[in-house]
Amino acid sequence: MATTRSILTRDAILNAAERLFAEHGHDNTSMRQITRAAQVNLSAVNYHFGSKDALIKAVFQRRLDALNDERLRILDALEAKAGGQPLKPSSIVEAYFGPLVRHACSAGAERRAFIPLQSNTMSDPNGAISALFATERSVVAHRFTRALLTSLPSVPEAEIVWRFHFMLGATAYALMGVESSSRAMNLPDDTNIDAQALLDRLMAFLLGGLRAPLPLGSLSGAQTS
């Protein structure tokens, strides 16, 4: 069983690595930089993570776990309240993308760490981090696509999957744009960005795509709200 000191040391390493990855990218960050920032020696990093690759995975995993836990808590609460009835598509979409927007627009370290998660998956589609994202996303996204299929029974499953994929891409680019805009305006790291305003705009766009006419050859007549 891990001691309190061991847990604190592990968290210090994760926090330092996350901050440096956000500033320099994980490929351009050395283990020496991480140990110096965390005020630990290399043996502590090796003890807790074994390798730099494992540390990189742990940093990204921690963010993904927090995000996906929040998404599933919201979906569980919505489904419990619905009492077995299908959810509104708009509620499902907001439950998935709302936590991501709020995390990405938060002040300070969370935003600095979160936006690089998006950019890494976009710029390195075949890398280990993208593979981690794909694995984690497939489990949680499956739960949400099933909810959308129940909500939109006349939309083919393949079409739901494609539209969910398009929504993921649109959201990733939107959040990368938020970071670019904050840098262009020289906003300090502890500045909150208006997450609700961004989410409202994004939801209008995503739901517009979800409501788009089905391609020729697909079943029609889906209802969304």
Interatomic CA distance for residues 74 and 79, integer angstroms? 9
Residues 150 and 46 in one domain: no
- Do 92 and 165 share a domain, yes or no? yes
Residues 82 and 33 in one domain: no
45 and 66 in a common domain? no
Buried b (16+ CB within 10 A) or exposed e, 189-207: eeeebebeebbeebbeebb
Supply the angle between the helices 52-82 and 89-105 in degrees, to the nearest 10.
Answer: 140
Note the pLDDT tens digit of each residue in 159-192. Answer: 999 999 899 888 888 887 766 655 555 555 555 5
Average pLDDT, the chain: 81
Residue range of the domain that includes 45: 1-50
CA–CA separation, 71 vs 62, rounded Å? 14
Please tell me the total count of domains within the chain: 2
CATH number for the domain spanning 117: value is 1.10.357.10
pLDDT in tens, 20-63: 887 787 788 999 999 999 999 999 999 999 999 899 889 888 88
Q: Measured between alpha carbons, how far is 132 from 119 in angstroms, rounded to an integer?
A: 14
Most confident of 17-21, 45-49, 128-132, 214-218: 45-49
Same domain assignment for residues 114 and 16: no
Do 30 and 85 lie in one domain? The reply is: no
The reply to whether 78 and 144 lie within a common domain is yes
Residue 68 identity = N
- pLDDT computed for residue 137 by the predictor: 64
